[in-house]
Amino acid sequence: MNEPSIDFSTAPDRYRHWRLNVQGSAATLTMAVDPDSGLRDDYQLKTNSYDLGVDIELNDAVQRLRFEHPAVRVVVVTGGLDKIFCAGANIQMLAGASHGHKVNFCKFTNETRNGIEDATTNSRQTWIAALNGTAAGGGYELALACDEILLIDDKSSAVSLPEIPLLAVLPGTGGLTRVVEKRHVRRDLADVFATRTEGIRGKTAIQWGLVDHIAPASTWDHLIAERTTARAAESDRPSEAVGIELRPLDRTITDESITYTNLTVSIDRSVGSATFTIHAPEGPEPTTGHGLTTAGADAWLLRMARELDDAILHLRFNETHLGTWVFRTEGDSDAVSQAEAVLGADAEHWAVREIRLFWARTLERLDVSARSLVTVIDPGSCFVGTLAELVLVADRSFMLEGSWEDLDDPPSPPTIRLTHANLGWYPMPNDLTRLRTRFWGREAAYTKATLAVGKNLLAAEATDAELVTFTPDDLDWEDELRITLEERNSFSPDALTGMEANYRFVGPETMKTKIFSRLSAWQNWIFQRPNAVGPDGALKRFGTGSRPDFDQNRV
């Protein structure tokens, strides 16, 4: 079944599945899923089960709480149905979804869970899961993303990861990884937990490390209030700050392009490519955190990150045949540098912190996107600092040697400029910067590249610093780009995705790389196996009263 076009734009007054209540330093996000408001009409979202639409609203809430509510220090996420927190991803939705949608759904949901952890760790806006009832599968995975898990001790409510025994798939949004990596549950107990459909309740859940606190119904509200107060006291978020309203983006979508205020995406279906052109700011940008909050959503740094983030998500879900993303920039390099300077000069301001973290999350979306990434540096480009990350993120990059010599008045040759932004502001999922990742195991080459920080590098200098892949002259430029795009479009997209994912994440393995590489790779494969999705597989048989018929061969 074909999924409808997905729009990632929403707001609290349009939520169908969540209720957001802000009271001083605390916010409560209540999950009360409307069963009849799924993205497709062939399933119902019963028992607080969710589809992508539910998670789009959750992602929006996470983002708005960080930007629009700087005084909020603690977020309590709880269930709005009696004796149920969340039943996880909707099984009928998964059974009827295309393979690509299932994989993209899991990836986006993983990114949202990571955003919750990022809010707790780096924004100091602590998330607490108050499980008012059973949390199963993806529902428990949502709780695992929170920094504390409270479970009502009513003799029936439990936490569980029942995907393996019930559905023949894996908990797809980090559950297996977080149980042992984050909760430090003993391996043998984790094995029991992930194969026990009824889950674990009360004191046993505490003993195994699956939850942090339990309380009977009589003291449940007191426990939530106590933990909220304790965690709020640990935060440095400003109590009197005015937030930044995240107004809807100006966006026009046609079959050939997506146009925003500072970003244009041009689509070439003949070679399966989408070209992102980012435009530099045209005037002075804020120089202080206070100036950023005054400019609000019109500040170039924030608007650009929002537009890039939205474009990535739109293309991931709605333009799956566009396998190559090309990045270009246009404008004054010094204007980009001036706009970026506030991120270093006023780094302790809450709005500066949030914008830096937002850019880090958006660039991570590129790292884990199943697309070939190509960056093009030609005259008029402005790959400076934050935008230079788009050179480092690429699978390969092209920088023009010289200028357009056939013009009567050739423009200046292109340059790139690293700044302190490239030395630590934007870590990849492997917890390394893209510059460190580029020179993994080659310390001398890394040191040489860092010496170029602050310098405008021409093609020969960028090559010497090992920052670009190829530097054709104007005679070969068009042919080199054309051949690369045509060649990429001729390869198997499955093989390219596997190759790119292996090359992008070198060095230490982290919880994120395990989730996006190891877990996602296995889930991707399992979602194609007949034991899960075949006519007699577990996803198809679930809820019918008939047991699945498994091929018992281990592969």
Predicted pLDDT of residue 555: 79
Angle, vertex CA 40, rays to CA 529 and CA 36, nearest 5: 120
**What pLDDT, in 10s, does the model give residues 339-388?**
999 999 999 999 999 999 999 999 999 999 999 999 999 999 999 999 99
* Given 3, 111, 141, 307, the catalytic residue: 141
Predicted pLDDT of residue 146: 98
B/e letters for 138-152, b = 16+ CB within 10 Å, e = fewer, are bbbbbbbbbbbbbbb
Per-residue pLDDT, averaged over 155-179, amounts to 93
Predicted pLDDT of residue 3: 63
Q: Are residues 110 and 138 in the same domain?
A: yes
Predicted pLDDT of residue 522: 83
E strand residue ranges, 110-239: 126-131, 134-136, 148-152, 158-160, 200-201, 213-215
Q: Is the pLDDT of residue 441 over 70?
A: yes
Residue 190's CB: how many other CB atoms inside 10 A? 20
Q: Is the pLDDT of residue 1 over 50?
A: no
Q: Are residues 256 and 139 in the same domain?
A: no
49 located within any domain: yes
Residue 19's CB: how many other CB atoms inside 10 A? 14
**Structure-derived torsion over alpha carbons of residues 82, 88, 94, 98, reported in degrees to the nearest 10:** 130
Per-residue pLDDT, averaged over 510-531, amounts to 87
Phi, psi of 436 (to 5 degrees): -60, -45
Residue 252's CB: how many other CB atoms inside 10 A? 9
Per-residue pLDDT, averaged over 463-490, amounts to 97
Predicted pLDDT of residue 406: 86
Q: Which residue(s) pair with 373 in the sheet?
A: 325
* Given 3, 148, 163, 354, the catalytic residue: 163
Q: Are residues 200 and 289 in the same domain?
A: no
Q: Are residues 199 and 265 in the same domain?
A: no
244 located within any domain: no
Mark which of 199, 232, 265 sits at the end of a domain: 232
Tell me if 11 sits within 8 A of 61, measured CB to CB: no
Q: Are residues 267 and 388 in the same domain?
A: yes
Q: Are residues 111 and 175 in the same domain?
A: yes
What span, in angstroms and rounded, lies between the C-alpha atoms of 123 and 230?
17
Q: Are residues 263 and 225 in the same domain?
A: no
Q: Are residues 137 and 88 in the same domain?
A: yes
Percent of the chain with pLDDT over 90: 90
Alpha helices in 410-476 (DSSP H): 434-438, 443-450, 459-464
Q: What predicted TM-score, i.e. pTM, was given to this entire model? A: 0.96
**CATH code of the domain covering residue 206:** 3.90.226.10
Of the candidates 7, 10, 35, 32, the residue with the CA atom closest to the CA atom of residue 21: 32
**141 assigned to active site:** yes
Predicted pLDDT of residue 2: 54
Q: Is the pLDDT of residue 125 over 60?
A: yes
At residue 527 the predicted structure's pLDDT band, cuts being 50, 70 and 90, is confident
Lowest mean pLDDT segment, chosen from 27-36, 109-118, 250-259, 496-505: 496-505
| Mean pLDDT taken over the chain | 96
Q: Is the pLDDT of residue 311 over 60?
A: yes
439 located within any domain: yes
**319 assigned to active site:** no
359 located within any domain: yes
549 located within any domain: no
Q: Which residue(s) pair with 159 in the sheet?
A: 135, 200
Q: Is the pLDDT of residue 523 over 90?
A: no
**130 assigned to active site:** no
* Given 71, 89, 335, 462, the catalytic residue: 89
Phi, psi of 131 (to 5 degrees): -80, 100
Mark which of 204, 232, 260 sits at the end of a domain: 232
The full DSSP string for 368-417 is: TSSSEEEEEE-TT--EETTTTHHHHT-SEEEE-SS--TTSSSPPPPP-EE
Q: Are residues 192 and 287 in the same domain?
A: no
Instruction: Tell me the three state secondary structure of residue 51.
Output: coil
Name the domain count of the chain.
Answer: 2
**What pLDDT, in 10s, does the model give residues 272-293?**
999 999 999 999 999 999 999 9
Q: Is the pLDDT of residue 248 over 80?
A: yes
Q: Which residue(s) pair with 127 in the sheet?
A: 75
**What pLDDT, in 10s, does the model give residues 175-195?**
999 999 999 999 999 999 999
Q: Please state, in angstroms and as integers, the Cα–Cα distance from residue 256 to each residue in 253, 259, 322, 478, following that order.
A: 8, 10, 12, 21
Q: Are residues 115 and 263 in the same domain?
A: no
**385 assigned to active site:** no
Q: Are residues 428 and 488 in the same domain?
A: yes
Per-residue pLDDT, averaged over 505-518, amounts to 89
Pairing of strands 49-50, 26-31: unpaired
Domain range for 98 is: 12-232
189 located within any domain: yes
Of the candidates 396, 273, 403, 291, the residue with the CA atom closest to the CA atom of residue 339: 291
Mark which of 174, 199, 232 sits at the end of a domain: 232
Per-residue pLDDT, averaged over 227-251, amounts to 96
Residue type, 391: V
241 located within any domain: no
Query: Which distant-in-sequence residues (6+ apart) come within 8 Å of 124 by Cβ?
Result: 73, 234, 235, 236, 237
Q: Are residues 218 and 276 in the same domain?
A: no
Instruction: Tell me the three state secondary structure of residue 214.
Output: strand
30 located within any domain: yes
